[in-house]
């Protein structure tokens, strides 16, 4: 390009870019095309995005309050905060409070990613939703059961984790602080 050709270009409005006017009658909405393969749809994976719940507060080990909603984790038996367990050396200890505190410390106000539980895992009611939740990619119910702070629901996916926690005497199975 020579100097003469560069002078032929004239800038009229450098900050304005606008599409040409189109009459709305000329536009037609069409449906989306079919996926190119099954991989696009995520075959075998959950297609729904989880609900993001911010600043959860642990009410018990496995039950949280988030923005006025109460959520219980699916496939576990929640240890109530007022539960008392037998101590290994005799007497009792407030295992429910210890379980709730451990869960609170683990949550630390991080966001929960929750999917509503299926019908087999448990049913919600007007006051409480039952869900499968993760925190930082880790299954919250599995975390509680593996550390002995919740019990696996009979026939649920966490029974082996409960057996390991019992054998290792973790959490409520440990006989006290």
Tell me what pLDDT residue 44 has: 45
Is 26 a domain residue? no
Instruction: Name the pTM for this structure.
Output: 0.67
Mean pLDDT of the 102-113 span? 90
Give Cβ neighbours of residue 70 (< 8 Å, ≥ 6 apart).
Answer: 59, 63, 64, 127, 128, 129
Q: What domain range is 60 assigned to?
A: 51-172
> Which residue, chain included where needed, has tokens 């989880």?
50
Q: How far apart are CA 141 and CA 61, in angstroms?
A: 9
Mean pLDDT of the 100-109 span? 91
Tell me what pLDDT residue 124 has: 44
* pLDDT tens track for 46-76: 446 778 889 999 999 999 998 888 999 999 9
Mean pLDDT of the chain: 80
Q: Is pLDDT of 149 > 70?
A: yes
Tell me what pLDDT residue 91 has: 82
37-41, 76-80, 149-153: least confidently modelled range = 37-41
Spatial CA neighbour of 127 closest among 70, 78, 72: 70
Is 42 a domain residue? no
Domains: count for the chain = 1
* pLDDT tens track for 3-53: 555 456 566 676 676 666 778 887 888 888 887 766 555 444 444 677 888
Is 157 buried (19+), middle (13-18) or exposed (0-12) by CB count in 10 A? middle
Tell me what pLDDT residue 43 has: 46
Which tokens is 65 given?
A: 């309050």
Tell me what pLDDT residue 104 has: 93
Q: What is the 3-state secondary structure (H, E, C) of 11-57?
A: CCCCCCCCCCCCCHHHCCCCCCCCCCCCCCCCCCCCCCCCEEECCCE
Is 117 a domain residue? yes
Is 5 a domain residue? no
Is 140 a domain residue? yes
9-18, 25-34, 105-114, 155-164: least confidently modelled range = 9-18
Is 32 a domain residue? no
Is 25 a domain residue? no
Dihedral sign from CA coordinates of 34, 40, 46, 52:
negative
Spatial contact of 171 and 147, defined as CB atoms under 8 Å apart: yes
Q: How many helices (H) and strands (E) does the chain have?
A: 4, 11
- Find the angle CA(133)-CA(119)-CA(101) to the nearest 5 degrees: 30
CATH code of the domain in which 162 resides: 2.40.50.90
Is 152 a domain residue? yes
* pLDDT tens track for 122-134: 444 445 789 899 9
Q: Is pLDDT of 143 > 80?
A: yes
Give Cβ neighbours of residue 160 (< 8 Å, ≥ 6 apart).
Answer: none
Helix (H, G, I), strand (E, B) or coil at 124: coil
């Amino acid at each position: 390009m020579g100097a003469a050709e560069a002078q032929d270009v004239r800038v009229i409005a450098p900050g304005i870019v606008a599409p040409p006017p189109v009459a709305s009658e000329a536009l037609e909405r069409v449906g989306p095309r079919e996926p190119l393969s099954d991989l696009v749809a995520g075959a075998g994976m959950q297609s729904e995005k989880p609900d993001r719940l911010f600043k959860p507060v642990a009410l018990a080990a496995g039950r949280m309050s988030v923005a006025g909603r109460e959520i219980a984790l699916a496939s576990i038996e929640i240890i109530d905060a007022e539960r008392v367990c037998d101590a290994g050396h005799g007497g009792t200890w407030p295992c429910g409070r210890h379980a709730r505190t451990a869960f609170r410390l683990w949550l630390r106000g991080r966001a929960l990613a929750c999917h509503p539980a299926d019908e087999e895992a448990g049913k919600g009611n007007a006051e409480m939703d039952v869900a499968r939740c993760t925190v930082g990619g880790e299954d919250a119910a599995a975390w509680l059961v593996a550390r002995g702070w919740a019990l696996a629901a009979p026939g649920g996916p966490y029974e082996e984790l409960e057996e390991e926690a019992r054998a290792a005497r973790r959490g409520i199975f440990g006989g006290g602080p």
